Amino acid sequence: MSKKDATTNTVTITDNRTGKQIELDLLKPTCGPMTIDVTSLYKQLGYFTYDPGFMSTASCWSKITYLDGDKGVLEYRGYPIEQLAEKSTFLETCYLLLHGDLPKKDEMEKFEYDIKHHTMLHEQLLRFYSGFRRDSHPMAIMVGVVAALSAFYHDDEDIHDPQDRMNAAHRLIAKMPTIAAWSYRYAMGMPFIYPDNSLDFSENFLHMMFSTPCEKYKVDPLLAKALDIILILHADHEQNASTSTVRLAGSSQANPFAVLASGIASLWGPAHGGANEAVIRMLTEINDSGKPLSDFIDRAKDKKDRFRLMGFGHRVYKNYDPRAKIIRKICHQMLESGQCTDPKHQKLLDTAMELEKIAREDDYFVSRNLYPNVDFYSGIIFLGMGIPLNMFTVLFAVGRSVGWVAQWNEMMADPQTKIGRPRQLFTGEATREYQEFEER
């Protein structure tokens, strides 16, 4: 849709300071709120808009993912997340996000072939791992190694060529599980396990995580399926912090792998993807403390205390996060199926459910529409799979990599794309004269 087609009306702005009136175009999206086009505001009135945290700002056009936070709706290319989680696979969802539609059988076979034939890393990239301290957080390794891919794929690739961009997308999707699994292997002092193309995407990841040269890990198909669904749920989420970081970094036309590494860095924080790790630390702290849950609820409500209920709240969802609903169900199924026998995991789930119950009846959380988000229950499933705590956000990154690269590709193909360059409301010193030492 062009800007002209989307324009349905105008909004009149009156400057009460000068009395001047201007008209701004009102744009109508396929779904979601109408949007005022403020691009000419500065030219017409000489004013900037101020919106820290982008509370009311649409930063781009996009056709990829739609979410309605009030209703708890999430759709990739128009398909509800519930249907994709039930019927699709992560790789098929990758195709959907990248190409805009579900693949026909032959398209899917070709896509699978292309991804499988990019899963290996350049052997020289292996040496990067030994440069990291053994106890490095795997997200630190992810940022470094994904950025290092730019050293291997740069001069030959033209970011203005759609085919080259698709090659970059295939490389990223294919190599992320290898890079991720190896960041764990390195920390454990275990040999790297190469990808096995006879396995599907999620099975292959578990194989690279847990096989040894002397014993092949027997992948449990139910665990692999649960992982695949979790990857689908994390695959994209419109203009969140890490995706916006990718778009901003990419708008300068930088190398895509360096750009995608910036997305990983942004995801790492506990307010974003790092919350899945923080949730388990919080639940463990609660269980170990022996204190009643109400103490922690009180702390979360206390504005002088920095403690927050991790895995609760969302900028956009003011209703139950649809991803959390699906994950909560898988979590129950996994523990009930007897696949996870560690009583500590059951205790974590019990505490999580009790915490959710208390919070959802508490006026503080109710009045602020704070519900469990995608990170609240996912960690318990990861623990059940034997995935260590510091790898949780890495798994989020593996899933989200397709969203980042699809959004980067969409931006690069959009003729309206400009370098991202926000302005500011300057509150520092106005012009003043330099003073010599003796005058200061």
What are the residue numbers of the active site?
Answer: 314, 375
Query: What's the min distance (Å) between Cβ of 18 and ligand CMC?
Result: 34
Per CB under 6 A, which region of 27-35, 223-231, 245-253, 365-373 contacts ligand CMC? Answer: 365-373
Q: Which is nearer to ligand CMC, 313 or 399 (CB)?
A: 313
Q: Interface residues for ligand CMC in 374-433 (CB under 6 A)?
A: 374-375
Residue 404 amino acid letter: W
CA distances from 72 to 67, 152, 234, 333, 373 (A): 7, 41, 15, 23, 11
Q: Mind giving me the DSSP string for 263-305? A: HHHHHTSTTTTTHHHHHHHHHHHHHHH---HHHHHHHHH-TTS
Q: Interface residues for ligand CMC in 303-342 (CB under 6 A)?
A: 308-315
Strand partners, 22: 13
Q: Which is nearer to ligand CMC, 188 or 271 (CB)?
A: 271
Rg (CA), the chain: 24
Query: What's the min distance (Å) between Cβ of 272 and ligand CMC?
Result: 4
- Interface size with ligand CMC, residues (CB under 6 A): 20
The gap from C-alpha 101 to its chain's centroid, in whole angstroms, comes to 21
Q: Which is nearer to ligand CMC, 179 or 370 (CB)?
A: 370
- Taking alpha carbons only, the member of 162, 146, 158, 333 closest to residue 242 is 146
> How big is the chain, counted in residues?
440
Q: Which is nearer to ligand CMC, 227 or 340 (CB)?
A: 227
| φ, ψ of residue 10 in degrees (nearest 5) | -130, 165
Query: What's the min distance (Å) between Cβ of 84 and ligand CMC?
Result: 18
Q: Which residues contact 200 (CB under 8 A, 6 or more apart)?
A: 89, 91, 224, 228
Long-range contacts of 361-366 (CB under 8 A, 24+ apart): 362/297, 362/301, 364/300, 364/301, 365/309, 365/312
C-alpha to C-alpha distance for 194 and 189, rounded to whole angstroms: 16
Per CB under 6 A, which region of 165-173, 209-217, 369-377, 416-424 contacts ligand CMC? Answer: 369-377
Long-range contacts of 420-428 (CB under 8 A, 24+ apart): 420/59, 420/247, 420/248, 420/251, 420/252, 423/48, 424/48, 425/48, 425/50
Query: What's the min distance (Å) between Cβ of 315 and ligand CMC?
Result: 3
Q: Which is nearer to ligand CMC, 65 or 211 (CB)?
A: 65
Q: Which is nearer to ligand CMC, 165 or 314 (CB)?
A: 314
Q: Interface residues for ligand CMC in 237-276 (CB under 6 A)?
A: 240, 271-273, 275
- Residues 401, 97: contact at Cβ < 8 Å? no
Element (H, E) at 172: helix 162-188
Contact map string, positions 96 to 135, toward ligand CMC, x by CB under 6 A: ----------------------------------------
Q: Which residue is nearest to ligand CMC (CB)?
A: 313
Q: Which is nearer to ligand CMC, 25 or 236 (CB)?
A: 236
Q: Which residues contact 369 (CB under 8 A, 6 or more apart)?
A: 317, 318, 319
- Is 373 among the residues that bind ligand CMC (CB under 6 A)? yes
Strand partners, 312: 372
Q: Interface residues for ligand CMC in 273-302 (CB under 6 A)?
A: 273, 275, 300
Contact map string, positions 178 to 207, toward ligand CMC, x by CB under 6 A: ------------------------------
- Taking alpha carbons only, the member of 183, 326, 208 closest to residue 268 is 183
Query: What's the min distance (Å) between Cβ of 57 and ligand CMC?
Result: 14
Query: What's the min distance (Å) between Cβ of 242 and ligand CMC?
Result: 8
Query: What's the min distance (Å) between Cβ of 379 and ligand CMC?
Result: 11
Q: Which is nearer to ligand CMC, 93 or 178 (CB)?
A: 93
Instruction: Say which DSSP state 117 is in.
Output: T
Contact map string, positions 47 to 66, toward ligand CMC, x by CB under 6 A: ------x-------------
Query: What's the min distance (Å) between Cβ of 310 and ligand CMC?
Result: 5
Binding residues for ligand CMC (CB under 6 A): 53, 240, 271-273, 275, 300, 308-315, 368, 370, 373-375
